[in-house]
């Protein structure tokens, strides 16, 4: 009898699975607090939407009955539809989660529940509404096991119980939202419109798709060892990219507003910096000085601290300019100072951005951030005149809005959550994990 070859593939998968278990359980939760915060918020949002749907289904039955005219038997069947659907959807999506992945199962379950809710919103007959409720129940039944398993498998052993318990807290939030919609919004705007509001959460599935990785434990269990071993190194990448895109957009909006639009508004009732070539020369000369100062500060303090310094100073100077008398001296000094500090801030952004990406995708990463900021610039060209002409906002109010946007983005988002780029070189966590993961 011929001997069978040893199950090398199985041994390799088992080894990879054990390695993944060890590496995930050994993760320092404090170092990855941003990732686990994002994991909790994204999966918790789906949990909250699920609970809000259940509460809406329960407390809008009277409105549905008065609209469609359902009898007692139909109303009882409608209430049972959720549980019948969940009884079908739970095992179905559990099988899908084991066969095709936890994240995909969660996405499809959430999409199915929202599709059932949308079908309910357009239903005109009782039997259509019952079918829609069963469809929604199937999706709701699949969300619970998929979300729990995904969170549990992405968490180190020390945090599993903590994260799953926190996930359940989002059910309370969803219940509060659902009750508010059912008792306050639905009677005034109609139960159908209220259902459509929850259906709009379907757009959220894109954030869930790109914001949460697939479970490395599941990837290893089905033989996708390479993906499983690389997965932990991606835990903090989306936050860095989001922080960078937000930074570029906020800088673009604020720099156009403070450096171009506000001086134009000031020139309408005060000194006009753009009246002669001397003012233009002073503005561009101040930008040169700002870049030189930024180069010194970047070397001394690093990317984030230098950027925070320039963002804070430009906000303070712009606010002072908005309340100062707009005579020649005040406008020239104030506008040139704002131009100087904006140039310094942009120098910090340009120095900081490339180090967020590994060499193979560095140009694409920076170009995507730049392209996204151009969309913000296009929106700003429509927003600035609207704020002044339609909303009748004063110059000082406009300055407060955009200085607040800049300061909040830099100090509240980029500094705590952005990538800690080294002052020199390009070695970053986006390249180092390949060395750390390979056994």
Pull the structure tokens for residue 253.
């909006």
Say if CB 314 and CB 406 are below 8 A apart.
Answer: yes
What percentage of residues in the chain have a pLDDT greater than 90? 15
pTM of structure:
0.51
219/13 Cα distance (integer angstroms): 10
Q: By C-alpha distance, which of 10, 174, 192, 177 is closest to 117?
A: 192
The 10s digit of each residue's pLDDT in 222-249 is 556 565 556 555 554 555 677 788 899 9
Task: Give yes or no for a contact between 53 and 112, defined as CB atoms under 8 angstroms apart.
Answer: no
User: Which pLDDT score is estimated for 3?
Assistant: 44
Residue 435 has what pLDDT?
Answer: 28
Residue 76's CB is within 10 A of a number of other CB atoms, namely: 11
Cβ partners under 8 Å of residue 390, min gap 6: none
Q: In this predicted model, what pLDDT tens digit does every residue of 344-353 receive, in sequence order? A: 999 999 888 8
Dump the DSSP string for 81-112: HHHHHHHHHHHHHHHHHHHH-HHHHHHHHHHH
Highest mean predicted confidence (pLDDT) among 5-9, 116-120, 153-157, 271-275: 116-120
Highest mean pLDDT among 268-277, 301-310, 408-417: 301-310
DSSP 391: S
Cα–Cα distance measured from residue 221 to residue 10, given in angstroms and rounded to the nearest whole number: 9
Report the pLDDT averaged over residues 120-140. Answer: 89
Q: How confident is the model at residue 67 (pLDDT cuts 50, 70, 90)?
A: confident
Among residues 6, 8, 35, which one has the least CA distance to residue 239? 35
Domains and CATH numbers, the chain: 8-235 (1.20.1250.20), 238-435 (1.20.1250.20)
By the 8 A CB rule, do 156 and 135 touch? no
């Amino acid at each position: 009898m011929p001997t069978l070859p040893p199950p090398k593939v199985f041994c390799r998968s088992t080894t990879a699975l054990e390695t993944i278990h060890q590496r995930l359980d050994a993760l320092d939760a404090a170092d990855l607090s941003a990732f686990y915060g994002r994991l909790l918020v994204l999966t918790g949002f789906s949990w909250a939407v699920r609970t809000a749907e259940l509460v809406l289904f329960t407390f809008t039955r009277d409105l549905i009955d008065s609209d469609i005219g359902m009898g007692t038997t139909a109303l009882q069947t409608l209430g049972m539809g959720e549980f019948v659907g969940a009884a079908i959807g739970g095992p179905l999506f559990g099988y899908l989660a084991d066969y095709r992945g936890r994240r995909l199962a969660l996405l499809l379950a959430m999409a199915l529940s929202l599709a059932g809710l949308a079908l309910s919103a357009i239903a005109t007959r009782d039997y259509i509404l019952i079918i829609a409720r069963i469809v929604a129940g199937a999706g709701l039944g699949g969300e619970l096991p998929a979300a729990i398993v995904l969170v549990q498998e992405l968490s180190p052993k020390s945090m599993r119980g903590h994260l799953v318990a926190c996930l359940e807290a989002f059910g309370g939030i969803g219940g509060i939202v659902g009750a508010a919609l059912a008792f306050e919004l639905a009677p005034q705007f109609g139960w159908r419109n209220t259902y459509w509001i929850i259906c709009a959460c379907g757009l959220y599935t894109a954030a869930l798709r790109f914001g949460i990785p697939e479970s490395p434990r599941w990837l290893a269990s089905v033989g996708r060892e390479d993906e499983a071993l690389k997965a932990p190194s991606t835990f903090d990448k989306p936050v860095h990219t989001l922080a960078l895109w937000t930074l570029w957009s906020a800088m673009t909006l604020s720099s156009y507003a403070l450096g171009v639009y506000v001086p134009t508004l000031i020139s309408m009732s005060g000194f006009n910096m753009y009246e002669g070539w001397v003012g233009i020369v002073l503005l561009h000369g101040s930008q040169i000085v700002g870049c030189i100062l930024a180069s010194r500060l970047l070397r001394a303090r690093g990317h984030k601290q230098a950027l925070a310094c320039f963002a804070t100073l430009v906000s303070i100077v712009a606010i002072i300019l908005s309340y100062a008398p707009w005579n020649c001296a005040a406008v020239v000094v104030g506008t040139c100072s704002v131009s100087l500090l904006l140039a310094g801030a942009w120098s910090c952004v340009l120095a900081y951005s490339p180090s967020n990406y590994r060499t193979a995708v560095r140009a694409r990463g920076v170009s995507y951030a730049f392209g996204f900021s151009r969309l913000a610039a296009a929106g700003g060209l429509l927003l600035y005149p609207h704020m002044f002409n339609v909303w009748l906002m004063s110059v000082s109010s406009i300055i407060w809005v955009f200085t607040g946007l800049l300061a909040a983005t830099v100090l509240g988002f980029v500094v705590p959550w952005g990538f800690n780029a080294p002052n020199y070189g390009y070695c970053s966590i986006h390249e180092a994990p390949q060395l750390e993961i390979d056994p």
